[in-house]
Amino acid sequence: MIALDSGVDRRTTAKHRPRATVSFRSVVGRVLGWTLLGAFAVAVLYPVLWMVLSGFKDNQEVFNQPWGLPGELRWENYARAWDLGVVRYFTNSVIVTSASIVATTLISAWAAYGLCRLKLPFGNGVALLVLGGLLLSPTVALIPLFRLLTAIGLFDTYWALIVLYTAFRIPFTIFLIRAYMIELPRSVDEAATIDGASRAQIFWRVILPMSRPILVSAALLQALFAWNEFAFALVFVSDESLKTLPVGLVSMQSRLLTDWPVVLAGLTIAALPTILLFLIGQRQFLRGLTEGVGK
Amino acid sequence: MGALLTRWRAWVWVLPAVALLLVFVYYPIVDNLRLSFFSWNAFSPEPRFVGVDNYTEMFTDPVFWRALLNNVAYAVVSLVFQAGLSLVLAALLEELVGKRLRGLLRTLYFIPAAMSITVAGVLFSFLYNPRYGLVNEALQAVGLGHLARAWLGEESSAIWSVIAMSQWQSVGYTAVLFVVAMQRIPREYYEAAKVDGSGAVRTFFSITLPMVREMTTLIVILTISGAFLVFNEVMVMTAGGPDNSSQVLGTWLYRKAFFEDDMGYAASVATVIFVITFAIAAGQLALSRRRRYDS
């Protein structure tokens, strides 16, 4: 396992590092380096800024002064986007995302506990099954899933997305949580057993609370995934009133061809939750990403 | 007998995960392979066995090869940016930027990755707009007006424009992963290099690069397999057009299955995606296993 301290630097900052003699070449190198970092920051930020600002403009401003600031903050664009469909897509996304977060985290935590603390018959087989699940991609499964979901009556329901978002993310989440649980000392289990606690009690009262940091990471990553997922949402939900944000936005764009500010306001509303989540839970996010990626 | 039962009771913990995986992840993959040997559509629900006809049709279809080639282009460009440029950016962040500003830039670079690919795709389809888009405006502003074009509407530029958007979204993400890997390098190595009088560039090649090798391999693998799975951004921005020039395997599969109702053909495209991505992923697993035994 990889120890992670993304927030804390083990090295001191560049400023305090002993500096080699300043040569002409290193000055040029520094200038070039800073230019690249700055240019990239602008390239990343500008489109996002443009999206937010254009959401406040009127059509005339968007088309004739694309670089300019909005004359006034037209919050009504955001209100219109909200009323013209975003409210429904947003609600649907919240429902599907929260349900899949709960399901994925709980089911994965159960399985992770079983895999690292109990002697399962064919335990290795289960581990292999989970590992293999990491290699299988959603795109490949589209057609059979379409048949399957239609056959069991889940096509065009919230459940289609909730179940799929859970099933396809379980492998990753199990490995993430398992890597953390393995590190928890066995003595806590033993102490609880001596106190007469059952397996289930140990899990709910001891292991789960101790695993909280990694559960938060897992939940955040699942939120990012489910909020942004597009392919399943496109294929398995056709009812306009059940569409989630990613698919809804595209249908909104084609409905409001010329009303750029309203569509851009809608995009901003859609992007906000995950960006905020990332800003708030940055450390947990990165832990989850690098641990998950490092397997 | 009782003991056996007790042991199997432990399966309660992994049962939900295993059941979901088998039904919604593994069964579809197997079923897809089977379906690719049949001909069927929504109106003839009873699939008819046609042997390898779907594959013959696919392999003689120029659009299939075009799509595959576009996936390869996606992979190559993504490697240059997401493994190359982001590594350089990460190294510069670590070398030049003080701790506080570094945290800020890292957060900023990550923001596009926290937005959904749909939001980014719709946003960029505005930026690429031939009449009012910022891209053409910018070109005109710097006297390169002759380069302005309908970026997403012309066969020669559509796929490249989508690929460019994708880089915008992902470079910051992989740069952050590299930063985390670099922060794990013990500081003593750099001190030793300083004592030896090694310059920044040489230090990068002799210390940083070898020390982040594991992360680099991982990012290379993820980037390549991501390039063969790409679906969302192409779907949102061009839907494979104009005239199939920007099709990738994923969107071609979708079009065949759900627009042209040629499910068998689509299933054989899915099989090709499966074989490619599974081979890449299995290769990575084998590699990381071997490395683990080596160390």
Each residue's pLDDT tens digit, A51-92: 999 888 888 887 777 787 887 888 888 888 888 888 999 999
**Cα B251 to Cα B202: distance, rounded to the nearest angstrom:** 44
Q: What is the DSSP string of A143-172?
A: HHHHHHHHHTT-TTSHHHHHHHHHHHHHHH
Query: Is the domain covering A85-293 a CATH 1.10.3720.10 domain?
Result: yes
User: Tell me, what's the ipTM?
Assistant: 0.87
Domain map (residue ranges) of chain A:
85-293
> Domains in chain B: how many in total?
1
Has residue B26 been placed in a domain? no
Q: Which residues in chain A have their CB less than 8 angstroms from residue B92's CB?
A: 33, 36-37
What is chain B's pLDDT, residue by residue, as a tens digit (295 residues)?
Answer: 567 777 788 888 899 999 999 999 999 999 999 999 998 876 666 778 888 888 999 999 999 999 999 999 999 999 999 999 999 999 999 888 888 888 889 889 999 998 888 999 999 999 998 888 888 888 888 888 888 888 998 999 999 999 999 999 999 999 998 998 898 888 888 888 888 887 788 888 888 888 888 888 888 988 998 999 999 999 999 998 899 999 999 999 999 999 998 999 999 999 999 999 988 888 877 777 766 555 5
**Cα B65 to Cα B240: distance, rounded to the nearest angstrom:** 13
Q: Model confidence over A31-55: pLDDT tens digits?
A: 898 999 999 999 999 999 999 998 8
Per-residue pLDDT at A28: 85
Closest Cα in chain B to A3? B184
**Cα B199 to Cα B249: distance, rounded to the nearest angstrom:** 45
Q: What is the DSSP string of A264-294?
A: HHHHHHHHHHHHHHHHHTHHHHHHHHHHHHT
User: What is the pLDDT of chain A when averaged over all its residues?
Assistant: 85
- Is A126 within 8 Å of B194 when comparing Cβ atoms? no
- Is A139 within 8 Å of B270 when comparing Cβ atoms? yes
In the chain, the amino acid numbered B1 is: M
Tokens encoding A40 = 């990239």
* End-to-end alpha carbon distance in chain B: 43
**Cα A249 to Cα A262: distance, rounded to the nearest angstrom:** 11
Determine whether A256 is exposed, middle or buried from the number of CB atoms within 10 Å of its CB (0-12, 13-18, 19+). Answer: middle
> Who among B25, B35, B92 is closest to A37 (CB)?
B92
Per-residue pLDDT at A22: 61
**Cα A30 to Cα B200: distance, rounded to the nearest angstrom:** 10
Closest Cα in chain A to B94? A14
> What is chain B's alpha carbon radius of gyration, rounded to the nearest angstrom?
24
> Who among B92, B176, B214 is closest to A33 (CB)?
B92
CATH code where residue B243 lies:
1.10.3720.10
> Who among A9, A62, A286 is closest to B99 (CB)?
A9
Q: Sorting pLDDT into bands at 50, 70 and 90, what band is A9?
A: very low
Determine whether A251 is exposed, middle or buried from the number of CB atoms within 10 Å of its CB (0-12, 13-18, 19+). Answer: middle
Tokens encoding B120 = 């980014």
**Cα A284 to Cα A7: distance, rounded to the nearest angstrom:** 10
Quick one: angle between helices B158-183 and A282-293, nearest 10?
Answer: 100
Domain with B125, as residue range(s), is 54-294
Closest Cα in chain B to A288? B177
Q: How many beta-carbon contacts under 8 Å exist across A and B?
A: 292
Has residue B232 been placed in a domain? yes
Has residue B16 been placed in a domain? no
Cα dihedral A222/A227/A228/A233 (nearest 10): 110
Residue-wise burial string across A27-48, b where 16 or more C-beta atoms lie within 10 A, e elsewhere: eebeeebeeebeebbeebeebb
> Who among A4, A17, A246 is closest to B118 (CB)?
A246
Per-residue pLDDT at B33: 92
Per-residue pLDDT at B140: 87
